[in-house]
Structures are given as C-alpha cells and as structure tokens.
Amino acid sequence: MKVLLAEDSSVVRVLLKQVLTKWGYEIVFAEDGDAAWRVLERADSPRLALLDWMMPGPDGLELCQRVRKAAREPRVYIILLTGKDEQEDVVRGLGAGADDYLRKPFDNVELEARMRTGRRIVELEDELVKVRAALHDCHAREQVHGRVVVPPSDRTPGRGGPAKR
C-alpha cells in the first residue's frame, strides 16, 4: 500500500522510510506542504498519509483541512506527526480532519500499530465503496424492470414484511 510521507526533516524521512518499507509500504515523499498537496490532488494519490504538522508551505493542519474540504472519495487516512503535545493541539489536529495524531518523538511499535489501524480502515472503506456500488447497480436494474424485489427474509410474518398466506 502506498503512503504519502510529508516531512521536511531529511533525518526523519530517512528513518521513516526504513521502517515503513520494512513493513511493506511503498513511500511517496513530499518535503513540504506544496509538494504534499500536489500528491494528494492526484487521482492515484496514496490512501494513507503521514503529515508533519510544521513544515514549509501549507502545514499539516492546513493540508488536513484541504483534504477534508475536497471530500475526495475514497478518503485519505491521515496521521498527523508533530512535536506539539498539548491536549489543545491534539484536539485542533483531529478537528482539522486528521484521523490520528502521533507525537514526536514516537516509538516504532506505536507507529506500526497506528499504520495497521489506518490500513485496516482504508481496506474497510474500500469494501464499503464496492458494496455501495453493487447496491446502486441493483437498484438501477430494479428501476429499469419496474419491479421491487422483496428478499425472502422480509416475507416472514412478524418481521415487518407482508405475511405469507
């Protein structure tokens, strides 16, 4: 799975590259907010993003807001990385649209757990999009044929559906 790593510190980028590739992620790098936004605007942008809060150009907080305002589907799961550790900073970051918040310096075990969570959510959202599309197709076919199909479970007495006689 591709991950956007938007971080202005070359040292942090190298360290994160090592662990993320070891865990099987393909890294797309951005050294500042402008480069990160260009990646996030692409149709094939990564579904997971690690954004540094404080970096040149639009910061991580502004990028979160832009991504959520764009309301792109499928969604990007955003983990905000920052040295800010006050409770109000966490609240601001999550309020801006981050899905998770990780304070620097962080432990690799915690990062891996948060990445697994993000990946699981992205995969579940992908499943949801597929099911929604299948339901839409099914509904469209019903409209074309001018009939409504009542599933057998709804035909059982006492379940709110019409009773069998």
pLDDT of 160 higher than 70: no
> In the chain, what are the domain boundaries?
2-110
pLDDT at 165: 47
Whether omega before 46 lies within 30 degrees of 0, making that bond cis, reads: no
Alpha-carbon radius of gyration of the chain: 21
How far apart (Å, rounded) are the C-alpha atoms in residues 165 and 47? 52
Per-residue pLDDT, averaged over 65-74, amounts to 91
| Per-residue pLDDT tens digits for 81-94 | 988 888 999 999 99
Crossing angle of helices 60-70 and 33-41, in 10° steps, is 20
Burial class of residue 9, CB neighbours in 10 A (0-12, 13-18, 19+): middle
Window from 20-24, 91-95, 137-141 with minimum mean pLDDT = 137-141
State the pLDDT confidence band at 74, using cuts at 50, 70 and 90: confident
State the pLDDT confidence band at 50, using cuts at 50, 70 and 90: very high
pLDDT of 149 higher than 90: no
Indicate the pTM of the whole model. Answer: 0.80
Average pLDDT, whole number, for the chain?
A: 88
CATH superfamily, domain 2-110, is Response regulator (3.40.50.2300)
